[in-house]
């Protein structure tokens, strides 16, 4: 026989479930869903919170795959591939959707603003050093000089046809590469899509580019680790909501020859891999595309010029420079949100 006490507890439980059901009929319940996948030659993962996070995450995966087919330098159908492989007359042109033209236009404006430290037409140089084929080699000065003649980003022009498309034109022989900005661009699109899908908070790691939507569901900031160039344990963490945290580091891709390391980030003036005293540059900004462009650019500029650039643009971003001598230089906006857990020398910089 079932004891009365048990019947009573069961009845209370049923009433509780019934009430819950009634409640959820009015207010959709927020749930969590995580997903990982490979895209843009890297491993990506995201975690979203909302009414249907699984569907939203699937949509993000499809969106990023689509962006890759449009801007990849290696996928034959992409607009960038088509433009790079045209070879006729003095100039070559490709019509792209406005969104891709906007990406190219943004990359050209950063190139102009930074006097070419950021250069979206460096592909001939990157290819010459073998970073596009993994057949790495140190080219001769004559080869570098020759390849540099095809890297003048001022020779790229855009003509918008209407709100939907634009014609991108550049000198024959030139080639583009969105490698320094593409993941940030994809991250911004993904955040936009998550908002449209009524996701209230999310965190994405697009191959080391971290982008967040909102704060954590409990209202606390997300804690994003800063990669350690010398080991596995992060250098520290940064507490943020609604921001991108994007790092460029020489340790990410390089080859070595005769004891010298050649990294994947290039100085567009010399046509050679950057060789300065920076181990990594992390940028914290609202836009992933901007943070991605700047992490590469400020790495190219080196510490002093990066600090000057920050002083002129301090309202737009914050940064962490990890120096090879294990000094950490960080901007004043990070003082209260950066926790350092690795033994480094700390140096805060102020904007004036
Ligand atoms: P990131 O990891 O975002 O710093 O981007 C590095 C990638 O950007 C490289 O693998 C190259 O494809 C490309 N790149 C290298 N140097 C430059 C540069 N000075 N300006 C623009 N893109 C670059
Ligand atoms: Mg970048």
Q: List per-residue pLDDT tens for the chain, 352 residues long.
A: 444 444 444 443 434 334 444 444 556 788 999 999 999 999 999 999 999 999 999 999 999 999 999 999 999 999 999 999 998 789 999 999 999 999 999 999 999 999 999 999 999 999 999 999 999 999 999 999 999 999 999 999 999 998 899 999 999 999 999 999 999 999 999 999 999 999 999 999 999 899 999 999 999 999 999 999 998 899 999 999 999 999 999 999 999 999 999 999 999 999 999 999 999 999 999 999 999 999 999 999 999 999 999 999 999 999 999 999 999 999 999 999 999 999 988 888 877 5
- Global pTM value: 0.91
For residue 84, report the distance from its CA to the centre of ligand 1, in Å. Answer: 17
Query: Rounded distance, CA 321 to CA 247, Å?
Result: 10
For residue 222, report the distance from its CA to the centre of ligand 2, in Å. Answer: 22
Residue 27 has what pLDDT?
Answer: 63
For residue 22, report the distance from its CA to the centre of ligand 2, in Å. Answer: 49
Q: Contact at 8 Å (CB) between 27 and 47? A: no
CA atoms within 13 A on the CB side of 259: 0
Query: Rounded distance, CA 276 to CA 303, Å?
Result: 9
Q: Contact at 8 Å (CB) between 73 and 177? A: yes
Phi, psi of 335 (to 5 degrees): -50, -40
Give the H/E segment covering residue 224. Answer: strand 222-226
* Best mutation site among 130, 175, 179, 262 for ligand 1 pocket (most ligand atoms within 8 Å of CB): 179
Residue 89 has what pLDDT?
Answer: 85
Residue 21 has what pLDDT?
Answer: 45
Instruction: Tell the residue number behind the tokens 């950021």, with chain if given.
Output: 118
Q: Contact at 8 Å (CB) between 299 and 267? A: no
For residue 309, report the distance from its CA to the centre of ligand 2, in Å. Answer: 16
Tokens describing residue 287: 């836009």
Pocket of ligand 1 (CB under 6 A): 118-120, 122, 126, 177, 179-180, 248, 252, 264-266, 268, 292, 295-296, 300
Residue 99 has what pLDDT?
Answer: 96
Measured from the Cβ of residue 198, the count of other Cβ atoms closer than 10 Å reads 13
């Amino acid at each position: 026989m079932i004891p009365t006490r048990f019947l009573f507890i069961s009845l209370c439980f049923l009433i509780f479930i019934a009430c819950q059901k009634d409640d959820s009929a009015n207010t959709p319940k927020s749930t969590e869903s995580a997903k990982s996948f490979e895209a843009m030659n890297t491993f990506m993962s995201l975690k979203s919170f909302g009414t249907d996070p699984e569907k939203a995450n699937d949509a993000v995966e499809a969106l990023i795959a689509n962006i890759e087919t449009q801007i990849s330098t290696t996928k034959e159908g992409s607009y960038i591939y088509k433009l790079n492989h045209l070879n006729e007359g003095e100039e070559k042109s490709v019509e792209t959707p406005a969104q891709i033209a906007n990406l190219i236009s943004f990359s050209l404006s950063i190139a102009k603003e930074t006097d070419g430290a950021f250069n979206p037409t460096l592909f001939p140089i990157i290819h010459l050093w073998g970073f596009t084929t993994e057949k790495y080699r140190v080219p001769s000065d004559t080869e570098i000089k020759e390849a540099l003649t095809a890297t003048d980003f001022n020779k790229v022009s855009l003509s918008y046809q209407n709100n939907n498309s634009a014609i991108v034109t550049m000198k024959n022989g030139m080639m583009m590469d969105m490698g320094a900005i593409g993941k940030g661009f994809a991250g911004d699109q993904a955040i936009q899509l998550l908002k449209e899908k009524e996701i209230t908070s999310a965190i994405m790691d697009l191959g080391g580019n971290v982008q967040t939507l909102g704060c954590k569901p409990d209202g606390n900031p997300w804690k994003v680790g800063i990669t350690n160039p010398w080991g596995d344990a992060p250098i520290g963490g940064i507490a943020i909501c609604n921001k991108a945290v994007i790092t460029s580091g020489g340790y990410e891709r390089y080859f070595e020859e005769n004891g010298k390391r050649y990294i994947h980030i290039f100085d567009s003036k010399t046509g050679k891999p950057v060789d300065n005293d920076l181990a990594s540059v992390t940028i914290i900004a609202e836009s992933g595309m901007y943070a991605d462009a700047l992490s590469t650019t400020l790495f190219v500029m080196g510490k002093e010029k990066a600090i000057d650039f920050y002083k002129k643009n301090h309202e737009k971003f914050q940064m962490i420079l990890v120096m090879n001598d294990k000094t950490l230089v960080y901007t004043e906006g990070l003082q209260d949100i950066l926790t350092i857990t690795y033994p480094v020398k700390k140096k805060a910089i102020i904007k004036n």
